[in-house]
């Protein structure tokens, strides 16, 4: 039985979780466009509310403070409908966030091979957790520690390693139709 059948009141939102560089923001925007839903990104909401960029929050207040702000953002989203939510890669590391995420709607995990992730995240130096001597090792370690949390939060998983963002979006749209019992999709 699908979760929607078990939770008929689950709101029509899609929440994207996954490691940095897994494509949450790009795929999230594509989903929002296709479904005519609003797109939100927890990283952006944290930054707007703190009036600080993420690297500044980490530098001035530390990771624990960033996590509290992230949870506060999630809590403030209770009650939203027809939204696509991209989340920060570490959101699942706070245990209370997992039931919160699942109560918001369909939680989709975007996965990719570590090599692919590393290639994607190497393109920008914005991520405080990767400003270390051996970022590749860090990616591998963080991915391994976080995997069980991602798996326990997700209703549905897509491996995006060799897929185009458009194909990932299609797979999620198919699943959302099943999950929310939307009428069959029309295809051109
Ligand atoms: C983090 C991922 C980042 C951002 C912060 C911490 C993490 O988001 O929330 O730098 O702990 O993995 P993205 O996954 O959008 O890069």
Q: Is a pLDDT exceeding 80 seen at residue 107? A: yes
pLDDT one-digit tens code per residue, 126-146: 788 888 888 889 999 999 999
pLDDT band at 4 (very low <50, low <70, confident <90, very high): very low
Residue 29 lies in a domain: yes
Residue 170 lies in a domain: yes
Please state whether the predicted TM-score (pTM) of the whole model is above 0.75: yes
Residue 129 beta carbon below 6 angstroms from any ligand 1 atom: yes
Residue 164 lies in a domain: yes
Residue 50 beta carbon below 6 angstroms from any ligand 1 atom: no
pLDDT band at 151 (very low <50, low <70, confident <90, very high): very high
Domain total of the chain? 1
pLDDT for the residue numbered 8: 55
Residue 185 lies in a domain: no
Residue 40 lies in a domain: yes
Residue 72 lies in a domain: yes
- Print the SS3 string covering the chain: CCHHHHCCCCCCEEEEEECCCCCHHHHHHHHHHHHCCEEEEHHHHHHHHHCCCHHHHHHHHCHHHHHHHHHHHHHHCCCCCCEEEECCCCHHHCCCHHHHHHHHCEEEEEECCHHHHHHHHCCCCCCHHHCCCCHHHHHHHHHHHHHHHHHHHCCEEEECCCCCHHHHHHHHHHHHHHHCCCCCCCCC
pLDDT one-digit tens code per residue, 41-84: 999 999 999 999 999 999 999 999 999 999 999 999 999 999 99
What is the extent of the structural domain holding 63? 3-180
| CA nearest ligand 1 atom 8, residue | 88
pLDDT band at 186 (very low <50, low <70, confident <90, very high): low
Gap from CA of 124 to ligand 1 centroid (Å): 12
Residue 103 lies in a domain: yes
Mutate to test the pocket of ligand 1, among 88, 94, 135 (most ligand atoms within 8 A of CB): 88
pLDDT band at 2 (very low <50, low <70, confident <90, very high): very low
Residue 121 beta carbon below 6 angstroms from any ligand 1 atom: no
| CA nearest ligand 1 atom 3, residue | 88
For position 139, which CATH number holds?
A: 3.40.50.300
């Amino acid at each position: 039985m699908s979760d929607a059948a078990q939770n008929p009141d689950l709101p029509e939102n899609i929440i994207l979780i996954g490691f940095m560089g897994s494509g949450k923001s790009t795929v999230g925007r594509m989903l929002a466009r296709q479904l005519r839903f609003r797109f939100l990104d927890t990283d952006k909401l944290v930054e707007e509310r703190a009036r600080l960029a993420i690297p500044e929050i980490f530098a001035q207040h530390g990771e624990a403070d960033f996590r509290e702000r992230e949870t506060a953002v999630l809590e403030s989203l209770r009650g939203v409908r027809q939204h696509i939510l991209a989340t920060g890669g570490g959101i699942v590391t706070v245990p209370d966030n997992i039931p919160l995420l699942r109560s918001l709607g369909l939680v989709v995990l975007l996965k990719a091979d570590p090599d692919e992730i590393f290639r994607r995240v190497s393109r920008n130096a914005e991520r405080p957790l990767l400003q270390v001597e051996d970022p590749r090792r860090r990616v591998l370690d963080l991915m391994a520690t976080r995997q069980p949390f991602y798996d326990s939060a997700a209703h549905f998983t897509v491996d995006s390693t060799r897929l185009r963002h458009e194909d990932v979006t299609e797979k999620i749209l198919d699943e959302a139709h099943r999950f929310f019992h939307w009428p069959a999709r029309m295809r051109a």
